[in-house]
Chain A
């Protein structure tokens, strides 16, 4: 199972539709960093609207991808986190460091303008 990467202008959209396993995470990070460095996109949008559960592992993966992107000169915006997931993350004491968040794709595109 591969997560598709979609290029929109100078931005890269990654839509994660289901909880993914470790091996997929490794290849996803590689794919994203490769794409950023070869095409020089300035913004990375990670769409989590299809995600029902965010555990600490998944949260760390998002942070790591944001970190990778920043080192390569791209800003990351995470969109589409469901309200109950936001509350759960806060209660767990998890933070999304190094990434910006926004409600939806439109707002993310504005942030990255």
Chain B
């Protein structure tokens, strides 16, 4: 995988930049030198895209390089249609989840602003999981009906939210900021539902439509 990406980058931006960009992308995810990371293909490609943007290339050039890279990996196509299940167990997973959400949103055709809103929502959801439940899961579900959309489900078996109505009406001001986070999610998404049971857990389902 590394070799394939490298060979395209060398042709497009030259050996020197190709090496720096690829090394940067692998390093970002803490992948050791000479190791492969097939399951991180999409996050790695996203880092490559950010680095290419950082090189002040024309956006058409960046798009072209990315199309070449994506066409080499058929699994990229699957991102548009398949559900993605992400285990949230440590703070590192927050960054990973928000990046995967951004990539999925991009693949589905959301504009840059909505990609940011989706990634921010996932950041809030996953941070709440880590903070209050310790661990949980986030599932990204593409909805490919007439109205294309991304559905995000966050689940945990934590203590639950006991004062949900206060939190959502904005009258409850949490020191740790749960209130702010949930309200923010509600404002950023088109649909927002919470199921929570004290001592059993919390399930939050949000949907964002492509406009």
Who on chain B is nearest to A92 by CB? B184
**Chain B residues near A19 (CB-CB < 8 A):** 94-95, 98, 123
The reply to whether A84 and B187 contact each other, CB–CB distance below 8 Å, is no
CB of B32 within 8 Å of the partner chain: no
In A57-113, the 8 Å CB interface with B consists of 57, 60, 84-85, 87-88, 91-94
Nearest-CB distance from A82 to chain B (Å)?
8
**Chain A residues near B159 (CB-CB < 8 A):** none
The reply to whether B180 and A94 contact each other, CB–CB distance below 8 Å, is yes
A84 to B91 Cα, complex, angstroms: 24
A87 to B116 Cα, complex, angstroms: 10
The reply to whether B181 and A88 contact each other, CB–CB distance below 8 Å, is no
The reply to whether B188 and A91 contact each other, CB–CB distance below 8 Å, is yes
* Secondary structure class of chain B's binding surface, majority of residues: helix
A19 to B122 Cα, complex, angstroms: 13
The reply to whether A57 and B181 contact each other, CB–CB distance below 8 Å, is yes
A19 to B127 Cα, complex, angstroms: 12
Who on chain B is nearest to A83 by CB? B113
Residue of B50, B91, B92, B120 with highest tally of chain A CB at under 10 A = B120
Which residues of A are at the interface with B, using a C-beta cutoff of 8 A?
18-19, 21-23, 52-57, 60, 84-85, 87-88, 91-94
Task: Beyond A23-B91, A92-B187, list 12 extra A-B contacts (CB 8 Å).
Answer: A19-B123, A21-B92, A55-B120, A55-B123, A55-B184, A56-B177, A56-B180, A57-B123, A57-B127, A84-B113, A88-B113, A91-B187
Which residues of B are at the interface with A, using a C-beta cutoff of 8 A?
28, 50, 91-92, 94-95, 98, 102, 112-113, 116-117, 119-120, 123-124, 127, 177, 180-181, 183-184, 187-188
